[in-house]
Structure 1
Amino acid sequence: MQTIHYEVRDQVATLTLDQAATRNALSPAMREEVAEVVHSIKQDRHIRALVITGANGHFCSGGDLRNIATAGLDNQGWRDRLHSLHHWLQDLITLDRPVIAAVDGAAYGAGLGLALAADFVIATPRARFCVSFLKVGLVPDCGIFYTLPRIVGPQRAKELMLSAREVGAEEALRLGIAMELQPPEQLLARAQAMAASFVQASPMAVSLVKRTVAAGSDLATQLELEANAQALAMGTQAHREAVQAFLDKQPARFQWPA
């Protein structure tokens, strides 16, 4: 694999995003490789827990804007692209085994969505979280419409989505985005130790807990709404101009606070 590292040790899988040049941006190649891993884990009953983390001092900086700017997709093309992401994202969110995100540095945009797909988020004091989509004229994706309100409540979720402001580690802890903070040098070991604890748990009980907690909302409907909204946003002039400003290294037109 070219964009990630994947290993299984003592029934715990660890998936590490590793693209230093883009701060582990979720490029098409990375999405394909993550999808392959998620499918493999879903089929492999030997694996009892999954840890997702990032190399290079960051978790994931979000979508790959250079690829987005040159994709040349129409409305249906963007819907299809989101549906492709949703296929494995839904498998990850509904995986019947615990998923732990170990977050250091940036978890922005789709990177935040990937972190929130986990059951537990452990972060370092230097972790930074941001629902950054509005800065480039888009709406949240990668499941954030489903996951974030369930964690922080609808009002705070809308504030984070509409302000696109950065949330530091301490605030993320208060909001419930992060469950605990660990020093950078202890982050992965703590996440893997937590994952290892589930090796001895009842697989059925773990599955039932996750399934029952999730039963309060309709994920499929939420993801369909997300795909529709994002496909529309992708076709706007505001999005194109914001991405071009980013590529030209110009300040974003949208700033919070104004």
Structure 2
Amino acid sequence: MTKVLADHLSVTRDGHVATVEFNRPPNNHVSVELVRGLADLLEELDRDNGVRAVVLCSAGKPFCAGADLVSADGIGGSGMSGIAPLYDQAVRLFSIETPIVAAVQGAAVGAGLGLALVADFRVAAPEARFTANFVKLGFHPGFGLTHTLPRVIGQQRADLMFLTGRRIKAEEGLAWGLVDEVAPLESLRERAQELAAEIAENAPLAVVATRKTLRGKLAQAVRAQTNHEHEQQAILRATEDFAEGVRAVQERRPGRFLGR
């Protein structure tokens, strides 16, 4: 049975696995309201002893195109004032105790990549693309990515993604450890649910305790890193290069940056 919630969210239960879907067409951009709603829902599932694993997925072609820094009605339209609250909600996501498997069907960009990294595991379709394209906007990475991405794929490969803004395909992500399994698009969600069920069949107290040990003080580390990221983003937002990066994205061309 699927329960449709406010803030573009729905949840489906199958045994001990809950599948949480977000849907903000056309690009599934994150917003403070979406991430707050997602955190509220995951915290509710944390308190449900019948839920032992969660599948996180989205509707539509992209998994999540990140934060909309370009449109007037996006996060970028309110300057930096919308970004700090977004990061407050992101820290809540990293505090969730129930294991999470992300099903990534398409582009996971910027904060969308950050959202995919909230999960313990990522099952991706061949069509999936992962990118931390902040420098192409003249901006600094955020959503805790400067901590979470190196933690998953290593510092050197994370540096490559951050400094080039390169798109990483699912198969390359599999070789790097960014993706745990590649599954055909038509069976992607089913395979993610199977992985979640494999986790959920184990003793739940032992799973949660082991996961806490493995993750350590991840939420606290994300909090410290988002504070630093926000400071750097505030500085770079005032530059001519950021304004050019926004224009370049709107005009679908490479930026002509001047370093000021």
Q: Same fold (TM over 0.5)?
A: yes
Q: 1:156 to 1:194 in 2, by over 3 A?
A: same
In structure 1, what is the Cα distance between the partners aligned to 2:93 and 2:211?
12
SS at 1:198's partner residue?
helix
Match of 1:252 in 2: 254
Deviation at 1:31, TM superposition (A): 2.6
Deviations 1:21-40 (A, max 9, x none): 2x211134423322332332
Structure 2 residue 34 is the aligned partner of structure 1 residue 30: yes
- Superposed, 1:1-258 pairs within 5 Å as 1-21=6-26, 23-65=27-69, 66=71, 67-71=74-78, 73=79, 77=81, 81-82=83-84, 84-215=85-216, 218-247=221-250, 249-253=251-255
Residues 170-206 of structure 1: per-residue CA shift (max 9 Å, x gap): 1111111001100011110111122123333222221
State the alpha-carbon separation in 2 of the partners of residues 204 and 165 from structure 1: 40
Query: Which residue of structure 1 lines up, in the alignment, with residue 3 of structure 2?
Result: none
Partners of 1:220 and 1:141 lie apart in 2 by 11
Q: 1:250 to 1:187 in 2, by over 3 A?
A: closer
For the aligned residues, what is the CA RMSD? 2.2
Which structure's relative contact order is higher, taking Cα pairs within 8 Å and 6+ residues apart?
A: 1
How far has the Cα of 1:229 moved from its partner?
Answer: 2.2
Distance in 2 (alpha carbons) for counterparts of 1:86 and 1:42: 20
Structure-1 separation of matches of 2:54 and 2:149:
21
Match for 2:237: what amino acid?
M
Distance 1:155-1:29 versus aligned 2 partners, 3 A rule: same
Q: Secondary structure at the match of 1:8?
A: strand
TM-score by length of 2: 0.86
Cα distance 1:103–1:162, how it changes in 2: closer, same or farther (>3 A)?
same
State whether residues 38 and 91 of structure 1, in contact with CA within 8 Å, keep that contact through their aligned partners in structure 2. Answer: no
Q: Distance in 2 between matches of 1:70 and 1:39?
A: 29
Mind listing any 5+ residue stretches in structure 2 that lack a counterpart?
1-5
Higher helix share: 1
Q: Which runs of 5+ in 1 are unaligned?
A: none
Cα deviation, residue 228, structure 1: 2.2
Residues in 1 aligned to 2:131 and 2:256: alpha-carbon distance in whole angstroms: 14
Deviation for aligned residue 1:251: 1.1
SS state of the match for residue 225, structure 1?
helix
Q: What percentage of residue pairs aligned between the two structures are identical?
A: 34
Q: Is the alpha carbon distance of 1:124 and 1:252 closer, same or farther for their aligned partners in structure 2, counting shifts above 3 Å?
A: same
How many Å separate the matches in 2 of 1:35 and 1:214? Answer: 18
Count of aligned pairs? 247
Alpha carbons of structure 1 residues 235 and 11: separation in structure 2 relative to 1, 3 Å: farther
Separation in 2, partners of 1:216, 1:69: 30
Give the direction of change, closer, same or farther, for the CA distance of 1:236–1:15 in structure 2 (3 Å limit).
farther
In terms of mean alpha carbon deviation, does 175-184 or 46-55 score higher?
46-55
- Alpha-carbon separation, structure 2, partners of 1:115 and 1:58: 12
Segments of 4+ moved more than 4 angstroms: none
